[in-house]
Amino acid sequence: MSWSGTVTCSYCYQRGHNKRKCPQLTEQIKGKYEGNMLAAAAERERVNQEETNEQNIKWYESRAEEYRQQYIKRTKIDLATGEKVTNKAAKAERMKKVTCGYCKERGHTRRVCAVVKRDKQVFIEESRRARVAAFEHAANLGIGVGSMVPIRLTGWNAAQEYGTHTNLRYVKSVDWDTCDSNRPKLFAYHMDARKLGAPDQARHTSRDSFDNLRKAHQDARDHAFTLEQKPPMASLIPTLDMPAGWLQPTEQSMKANLQREFPTTGNEYNKARNWGYKYPEGTTIEVIKDLGLQEHYENVS
Ligand SMILES: [Zn+2]
Ligand SMILES: [Zn+2]
């Protein structure tokens, strides 16, 4: 902007427009487009001669495409058709260039990817089945919420001695929500029974699978047996009450699980589709068939 308030074009040095609107530059771009198209055509003409080179044709065409896009940006006119480009057509043109970060197909983004939508459906159903099995398995171990379970564990005992001790644990709760097809086990939160009245309960709380709890309980009994002591006092409550809806997982209720399984952050590899869905095997195949999605998956018929 000069003192008089009119702009000067940095391309043609005339006043009254800037470079972005410069008619001379616009014409220049059109000329370059046409020149490259002619050069590509000339290369193609020489198709039977030895000096014809596919690479040359491609090079002229890619240059022409660049100038075509620049011209569209400036004038909204597509030199290939001579017609005005609508916003919708312009968007379609742009979308041709995007690649989906999930399935790596061109022409759409992850946000609207049908592949990730289907894979999520499969994951949720796989997780529902994993939960049925995990629940049945954990319930059969006979340790439920409210149980008092002596277990062998490594840490500090009441006498401030470090080592492996028998410690009475109170089973506080179940980590229901993390259970899915990728983490198909139920975990319990359990705490030192002597610290039940302590204000900082989190410090005394651990998380273990019910399997590990059962095993550590058996270790405590075995240990007493080798010392010819009577088994440590236990009070096992076998019931496990699952929360309502836990066996009917939905996209909503599994939001955190889906975020872990289908991350949208991290590196390109993390965000991309994993092999378990690209080339499904075993129970994944069964689930795909039961959902009627086989036509969309490799290896599934
Ligand atoms: Zn100009
Ligand atoms: Zn996709």
**Residue 84 scores a pLDDT above 70:** yes
For the stretch 137-149, pLDDT in tens is 999 999 999 999 9
Q: In this structure, are residues 236 and 147 in contact, taking their beta carbons and an 8 Å threshold?
A: yes
In this predicted structure, what is the pLDDT of residue 49?
65
In this predicted structure, what is the pLDDT of residue 51?
61
For the stretch 185-200, pLDDT in tens is 999 999 999 888 889 8
Ligand 2 centroid to Cα of residue 85, in Å, is: 26
Residue of higher predicted confidence among 299 and 283: 283
In this predicted structure, what is the pLDDT of residue 88?
82
Pick the ligand that lies closest to the CA of residue 15: 1
Helical H runs in the chain?
Answer: 23-45, 54-75, 87-97, 114-140, 210-226, 255-261, 268-271, 275-278, 282-290
**Residue 172 scores a pLDDT above 60:** yes
Pick the ligand that lies closest to the CA of residue 8: 1
Q: Where do the structural domains in the chain lie, given as residue ranges? A: 19-84, 113-301
Pick the ligand that lies closest to the CA of residue 24: 1
Ligand 1 centroid to Cα of residue 82, in Å, is: 23
CA-CA distance, 78 to 108, in Å (whole number)? 22
Ligand 1 centroid to Cα of residue 128, in Å, is: 65
**Residue 136 scores a pLDDT above 70:** yes
**Residue 1 scores a pLDDT above 90:** no
CA-CA distance, 93 to 47, in Å (whole number)? 30
Mean pLDDT, residues 244-270 taken together: 95
Q: In this structure, are residues 94 and 224 in contact, taking their beta carbons and an 8 Å threshold?
A: no
State the pLDDT confidence band at 300, using cuts at 50, 70 and 90: confident
Work out the mean pLDDT of the chain and round it to a whole number: 91
Pick the ligand that lies closest to the CA of residue 101: 2
In this predicted structure, what is the pLDDT of residue 52?
61
State the pLDDT confidence band at 103, using cuts at 50, 70 and 90: very high
State the pLDDT confidence band at 89, using cuts at 50, 70 and 90: confident
Q: Quick one: DSSP state of residue 110?
A: G
**Residue 278 scores a pLDDT above 60:** yes
Q: Provide the token pair at 229.
A: 């002591």
Ligand 2 centroid to Cα of residue 166, in Å, is: 53
Residue of higher predicted confidence among 58 and 87: 58
Pick the ligand that lies closest to the CA of residue 111: 2
